[in-house]
Structure 1
Amino acid sequence: MQPSLALQDDQEHLPSLLATDAKELSYQLQQHQAKIFPPLSQKTIRTFSPAEAAAFIGIGEGYLRQVAADGHGPDPLANGRRLYSATDMDRIRRVLDERNGTPKYVPARRPGEKLQIVSVMNFKGGSGKTTTAAHLAQFMALRGYRVLAVDLDPQASLSALFGHQPEFDVGEGETIYGAIRYEEPRPIADIVRATYTPNLHLIPGNLELMEFEHETPKAMASGTAETMFFARIGEVLTEIESLYDVVVIDCPPQLGFLTMSALCAATSVLITVHPQMLDVMSMSQFLTMTSELMSVVEKAGGRTSYDWMRYLVTRFEPNDGPQSQMTGFMRAIFGNRMLHNAMVKSTAVADAGVTKQTLYEVERSQFTRGTYDRALESLNLVNGEIEAHIRSTWGRK
């Protein structure tokens, strides 16, 4: 006997309740956005100290001062100090390469070097996936690479971090779904957006991405799809391949058709994991399911071989004994498939996220110096290690 579906007096209608809460939350978020960034304002990337700029360019601070004194840097401030924008750093790279007569400091791909597509994934929330993807994309852009960030997560946190609020700034067909949908796809070049960080472009996300999960079974059943679902992201990225050196994909937190397509498009995979028992147990199931699904995709012709695959420990607290033990446990199992460096948990990263900023955007003066410096050092070590893997794939040191 079926239970009665009639709403009792002491019960709440969940669809109506959720719709009301969603509407109010969306309105309040819009008000918060307007308060932080007034309607006509534009997000900007901050300027960098000589030490920071020298590190991004890849030269000594003394040499940078000499280059700037020769007229190739920004004008000094009233106190005689120079601060460097991302554009300044790009200009100095070009000047140095012109002096040397060889492409050393401008890191763009050279003939024979293939586009690097890094898919960042895990299907458990709180693993630091989006934080990792955002900081990696921005770091690579500040290092001078031409970077495309792709937000495949319907929650679109990556888009929000880069200044594109999914509810208000991203319209129909303006996510990658617009380019990979089965009916009337758009050219992917029409969807790519510039960001306030030079060298960094974005394909934003929003809830529209879920349509791919719904439409793919229909297309497979009807046999109308010209390209299998797992090949669609890789196929559209080839249209703009020559414009970029690195693509960073923030995958959705589930093993659906979008994630499978991102994995088949990728040249490398980064799996984030929080070093606690429940998270590691969850990852065990995640790895099993991914392996089984990828085996099916491989039999259908999908690409399943990568230049490298690494695990990244995120939100790591060095003084937490159980976390250190769990990290050691994973290192014993995975060996060199784990990145040597871990992403340290920091209030600086969390506080920056409140104003939808990355750690490369916020001013150091907003935080306790030690807190900021430790967080930034951790980010730079992780991102530098990933950059080294990319350069190694190209045959560079």
Structure 2
Amino acid sequence: MQVWAIANQKGGVGKTTTVVALAGLLAQQDARVLVVDLDPHASLTEYFGHDAESLDKSVYNLFQTPATPVGQLLLPTQEPGITILPASSAMASLERQTAGLTGLGLVVHKAMQSLDKEFDYVLLDSPPVLGITMINALAACELLLMPVQTEFLAIKGLLRMANTLSHLLVSRGQPLHTLVVPTMYDRRTKPSIQSLRTIRKEFGERVSNAVIPHDTQFRNASAAGQVPSRYNHLARGVQAYDLLLTQLLRQRHQIPIWEVTSPAK
């Protein structure tokens, strides 16, 4: 089982879209996929048809009672091959409730270990805030994807995330395969073109081959309650995510490692 985290400290950069798109493509290859919603906004949970306000069991239960069998918290989705560990509205108070507590950094990691034989891939949707859930995502994953919108402020957020990652990896104690994924790219605009150029300059080989375009088909797929590749497999955005997935599967061991001692640029 492979565990991938999708994280960035800036919101609105395409994290949930990346999770949904990759999960859909993996499931269409007959992989057994678990998506985990670690974001209090619960966008991933809502995408897959579950009401976060009415759920009484969610990933929140793992942090309250780490011994909870994670299998009891899983829910089906409308997409064959995709299961979800949802978020609930209770997640909004998690950071406050766990402030000052220790020993909660590996909750997700241990839960995923117990599911090793049940899924081929786990995709963790992390919130845009450095806290207990993001720390758990980074501790649990073997591959980190950092989506970044191709615009100036998003790049500033990515640089902050890079510094955060460098510090957190000291505690993790081992390196992490990491890939920056440019998103919401509009080749018609100069700011988007310049931003992509800056991202490639700052992060070099750590940037994915695929550049995810701005594509209204993502929004349409969400409204239809379908993963993008089922809604319109010919959409430009879907083709870009398919290229990203190809890199992740065929060149996984060539994806750059963010070393523990590597300074962020």
Band of TM-score, shorter chain: 0.7 to 0.9
Equivalent residue runs for 1:352-367 within 5 Å: 352-362=221-231
Distance 2:109 2:68 in 1: 15
Matched, 1:331 2:200: yes
- Evaluate the alpha carbon distance shift between residue 213 and residue 162 of structure 1 in structure 2; reply closer, same or farther with a 3 A threshold: same
Structure 1 stretch 277-286 or stretch 119-128: which is displaced more? Answer: 277-286
Structure 1 stretch 316-325 or stretch 338-347: which is displaced more? Answer: 316-325
Equivalent residue runs for 1:231-270 within 5 Å: 231-270=106-145
- Evaluate the alpha carbon distance shift between residue 247 and residue 159 of structure 1 in structure 2; reply closer, same or farther with a 3 A threshold: same
Q: Which secondary structure state, in structure 1, belongs to the residue aligned with residue 101 of structure 2?
A: helix
Name the counterpart of 1:164: 50
Matched, 1:127 2:13: yes
Q: Which secondary structure state, in structure 1, belongs to the residue aligned with residue 12 of structure 2?
A: coil
Q: Which secondary structure state, in structure 1, belongs to the residue aligned with residue 195 of structure 2?
A: helix
Distance 1:250 1:324 in 2: 27
Distance 2:252 2:73 in 1: 26
Distance 2:119 2:220 in 1: 31
- Equivalent residues of 2:8, 2:128 under 8 A apart: yes
Q: Which secondary structure state, in structure 1, belongs to the residue aligned with residue 235 of structure 2?
A: helix
Deviation at 1:193, TM superposition (A): 1.6
Q: 1:219 is matched with which residue: 101, 104, 110?
A: 101
Q: Which secondary structure state, in structure 2, belongs to the residue aligned with residue 164 of structure 1?
A: coil
Matched, 1:290 2:159: no
Question: 1:116-136, CA deviations, whole angstroms, 9 ceiling, x for partnerless residues?
Answer: 110001121210111011111
- Equivalent residues of 1:137, 1:149 under 8 A apart: yes
Paired positions, count: 255
> Which protein has the bigger helix share?
1
Q: Which runs of 4+ in 1 moved over 6 A?
A: none
- Determine which structure has greater relative contact order: mean sequence separation of CA pairs < 8 Å that are 6+ residues apart, divided by chain length: 2
Name the counterpart of 1:279: 154
Distance 2:66 2:134 in 1: 22
> Which protein has the bigger strand share?
2
Distance 1:121 1:284 in 2: 13
- Equivalent residues of 1:265, 1:303 under 8 A apart: no
Q: Which secondary structure state, in structure 2, belongs to the residue aligned with residue 336 of structure 1?
A: helix
Distance 1:248 1:263 in 2: 12
Matched, 1:176 2:59: yes
What TM-score do the two structures reach when normalised by structure 2? 0.88
Deviation at 1:379, TM superposition (A): 2.6
What TM-score do the two structures reach when normalised by structure 1? 0.60
CA RMSD between the two structures:
2.1
- Equivalent residues of 2:24, 2:228 under 8 A apart: no
Gaps of 5+ in 1: 1-114, 221-227, 365-371
Name the counterpart of 1:33: none
Distance 2:241 2:112 in 1: 27
Name the counterpart of 2:263: none
Distance 1:303 1:155 in 2: 30
Q: 1:375 is matched with which residue: 219, 223, 237?
A: 237
Deviation at 1:184, TM superposition (A): 6.9
Q: Which secondary structure state, in structure 2, belongs to the residue aligned with residue 201 of structure 1?
A: strand
Q: Which secondary structure state, in structure 1, belongs to the residue aligned with residue 129 of structure 2?
A: coil
Deviation at 1:198, TM superposition (A): 2.2
Larger radius of gyration between Structure 1 and Structure 2 = 1
Deviation at 1:345, TM superposition (A): 0.5
Distance 1:199 1:357 in 2: 13
Deviation at 1:303, TM superposition (A): 4.6
